[in-house]
Amino acid sequence: MDAMLKLTFCLRRQPRLTLAEFQDYWLNRHGPLVRRLQPALGMVRYVQLHRLDGDLADGMRRARGAPDPYDGVAELWWASEEALRAARGPDAREAGRLLLEDEARFIDLPRSPLWLNREQVIYAGEAC
């Protein structure tokens, strides 16, 4: 059996939006849309990681000489590569069209990379 397949999408907001406006739209408008379209897309998990502002985050970034952070990261999981490939029918294509149309409202798509991946867990800790 294939290992879980994940899509990681590093998001930068449209320049006209504040971070708070971006995160509010993403959580309260786009999130429910993804949830509604989940059956057509065949995903088994969808998670939003919202960037935190503040001294702690800024200090960590500065200490490493890191570039400006993404505004958020979306993670979408499928049970396998076959499950993702199976989600190619008309319903999935329409779901993809609706998501892309909505994403263009709040995500700076040309500056927001995405890629497919498989996790390689090195340490999960006792609580995981």
Tell me which range, 24-28, 61-65, 82-86, 122-126, is most confidently predicted by mean pLDDT.
24-28
128: pLDDT confidence band, cut at 50, 70 and 90?
Answer: low
Backbone phi and psi for residue 73, each to the nearest 5 degrees, phi listed first? -135, 130
Tokens of 61: 């970034």
Residue 17 has pLDDT above 90, yes or no: yes
- What is the predicted pLDDT for the residue at 92? 94
Name the pTM for this structure.
Answer: 0.88
CA distances from 33 to 7, 36, 54, 95, 102 (A): 17, 5, 30, 9, 9
Q: Which domains are assigned to the chain?
A: 5-117 (3.30.70.100)
* Pair 13, 107: CB distance under 8 Å: yes
Contacts of 40 (CB under 8 A, 6+ apart): 87, 89, 91, 92, 94, 95
Give tens-digit pLDDT for 47-97.
Answer: 999 998 888 878 888 888 888 889 999 999 999 999 999 888 999 999 999
- What is the predicted pLDDT for the residue at 121? 83
